Amino acid sequence: MKTILHLISSPRQESSFSIKLGRAIVTQLQEKHPDSVVNEVNLIHENFPHLDAPHLQSFFTPKEDLTAADREAIRYSDQAIDQLFKADFIVIGAPLYNFSIHSALKAWIDHVARAGLTFRYSEHGPEGLVKNKKVYIAMSAGGVYSKGPYQPYDFVVPYLQAVLGFMGMTDVTVYRAEGVNMPQLKEGALERAIASIAVEG
Ligand SMILES: Cc1cc2nc3c(=O)[nH]c(=O)nc-3n(C[C@H](O)[C@H](O)[C@H](O)COP(=O)(O)O)c2cc1C
């Protein structure tokens, strides 16, 4: 039995292209793995807090020394890391906001990137600890960033690949609904992205 973690980071609910694209990826995964369990996490609703002093203090306190207040501070982080380790497939909905990811997704990343849990430093340098995962990114953008003059302004895919890879998730496939706000491209942009999905694993 496979577990699919689907992260949503668009506030646009039923109008969102990244949510529709992500769900299409999930559907294809379910077709391949009919007994799979889907855990859809809406990061907009979850509203992970920005990292503050109590979070940081708790992150770097040994488990046996954590107070009740410390444990409360890392509740979001512990739960998100648990969901991540339990998943075989991770589908990340990533709308492009001001050339980067939505802050709700950034907050999730800040809570899951934890030294000693999802990565560690060894004598050989940094080592990702979240291994054997297949990640799909469902990106949506008003413009076109996969090629052309705006390609260098795509801080979504290179960033996600870097930070996920740092935590050990190196097998990342990207699907894009792009040009969704461009008159000549918006018609059929989502359908073209969905038609390009070919899940593996
Ligand atoms: C606050 C905001 C910032 C945006 N910034 C960009 C941008 O920098 N470049 C771009 O091409 N589109 C930008 N867009 C358009 C979104 O990428 C586009 O609407 C996309 O479909 C959003 O994903 P969603 O449909 O999953 O909500 C922005 C949209 C919003 C609401």
Question: pTM for this structure?
Answer: 0.97
| Residue from 138, 113, 134 nearest 51 by CA | 113
All domains in the chain, ordered by first residue: 3-195 (3.40.50.360)
Nearest CA to ligand 1 atom 1: 97
What is the distance in A from the centroid of ligand 1 to the CA of 95?
A: 6
Overall average pLDDT of the 40-67 stretch: 95
To test the ligand 1 pocket, which listed residue (9, 18, 44, 98) has its Cβ within 8 A of the most ligand atoms? 98
Q: Report how far apart the first and last C-alpha atoms of the chain are (Å, whole number).
A: 13
Overall average pLDDT of the 76-90 stretch: 98
pLDDT, tens digit, for every residue of 133-155? 999 999 999 999 999 999 999 99
**What residues form DSSP beta bridges with 95?**
140
Q: What is the pLDDT of residue 8?
A: 98
Q: What is the pLDDT of residue 27?
A: 98
